[in-house]
Amino acid sequence: MLKFRRDHIQQHFNQAARTYDEAAVLQKRVAEDMDQRLDLVTLTPERILDLGAGTGFLSVKLQRRYPKASLLSLDLSPHMLQAARVRLGAQRPRWWQKPFQRRPLPGLLNADAHSLPLADHSVDLVMTNLMLQWCDDPDRVFAEIRRVLRPEGLFMFSSFGPDTLKELRQAWSNVDDREHVNTFIDMHDLGDALIRNGFGQPVMDTTHFTLTYDRPMGVLKDLKAIGATNATQGRAHGLTGKNRFQAMLKAYEGFRQTTDGQIPATFEVVQGHAWAAEEVIKGPHRDKSGHVEISLDEFARQTRN
């Protein structure tokens, strides 16, 4: 697997902190989805970790859903956390409201998901929204999450799958054989890694979203605005030649939709959850890799037991 440069990721998310909110349309949508999925879970967490909190989209929702819980928002980028501090502070009741209505600000922690500075078995719920794709060692990250979760604690996540930015990847492949787009982890590989690291009852599904633009440059500008750049160590260094870049844009034009004349950008979103327990085979259609296909009704039944 290609390795990511952590300093490169941190630098680009720091630079994107001011522009992130306006461009992060999909990140907001997936945060909404994750919050709604918690409706199906019977859990009263005392301590919650929002891992890769960014500017705090999901943290705000967790703060509202679990007002009595202690919330910790963690991110690799200190500038993103500064933006999260502003967003979370804006959610606090004003001074004239009753004391019992006021809540302390969530804790903000600048750290790496590969090495969590938290005690063993200290968290009841770990949530991470579209962060895992920036981790080149999911086993290490899952082992850390499993370590900090209390017995029967819940891990809920979303990540980008292999079809993400397939149009951009194909357009570049028509120009050269360099790695211009990050590689994204398959749902089944994520499931295997969860089971290897002591999680039980993994449930996952995928959804494809298509964002549309007037021209290919719109895709690239949005990616830059959210800090989503190619962070692999094997990426091409230096400026991409103008001729090659223009050739890529021309190749991307080939994906323009005939129905509305728009340029598509596909994002495959993997969502799932697993419990901090030794694997318990529960639910239908478990294949040899450990992947479970399960209906939402069955999901609700299991999580309420």
Residue 21 reports pLDDT greater than 80: yes
Domain total in the chain: 1
- Residue 230 counted as domain residue: no
Sign of the Cα torsion 101, 105, 107, 112 reads positive
Tokens representing 80 are 């993103």
b/e for 261-288, b at 16 or more Cβ within 10 A? ebbbbbbbbbbbbbbbeebeeebeeeee
Residue 104 reports pLDDT greater than 70: no
- Residue 62 counted as domain residue: yes
CATH of the domain at 155: 3.40.50.150
Banded model confidence at residue 93, pLDDT cuts 50, 70, 90: low
- Residue 253 counted as domain residue: no
Task: Report d(CA 76, CA 128) in Å as an integer.
Answer: 13
- Residue 105 counted as domain residue: yes
Task: Report d(CA 145, CA 51) in Å as an integer.
Answer: 9
- Residue 147 counted as domain residue: yes
Residue 97 reports pLDDT greater than 50: no
Percent of the chain residues topping a pLDDT of 90: 74
Task: Report d(CA 190, CA 110) in Å as an integer.
Answer: 25
User: What pLDDT, in 10s, does the model give residues 212-252?
Assistant: 999 999 999 999 999 987 644 444 544 468 899 999 999 99
User: What pLDDT, in 10s, does the model give residues 145-162?
Assistant: 999 999 999 999 999 999
- Residue 246 counted as domain residue: no
User: What pLDDT, in 10s, does the model give residues 59-85?
Assistant: 999 999 999 999 999 999 999 999 999
* Residue 19: HSE in the Cβ half-sphere, 13 Å Cα cutoff: 14
Determine the structural domain holding residue 57 and report its residue range: 6-164+180-212+265-303
- Residue 66 counted as domain residue: yes
- Residue 116 counted as domain residue: yes
